[in-house]
Amino acid sequence: MQPLPADPPLHGFFWSMVVPVLLFAVAASATWLLYRRFSRRR
């Protein structure tokens, strides 16, 4: 049985810089929207 390659299939500037920033931006904006939704006073 051959060992699995250690080289990640997804690499480069796009996967190491662009995708994490986009994921963080989506998570931060969703958190902000949830905060605004549930912090309203009645």
Return mean pLDDT, the chain.
Answer: 90
* Closest by Cα among 28, 10, 7 to 19: 10
What's the pLDDT score for residue 20? 95
What's the pLDDT score for residue 3? 86
Give helix then strand counts, H and E, for the chain.
2, 0
pLDDT digits (tens, 9 = 90+) for 9-18: 788 889 889 9
- Residue 39 has φ and ψ, to the nearest 5°, of -95, 0
* pLDDT exceeds cutoff 70 at 42: no
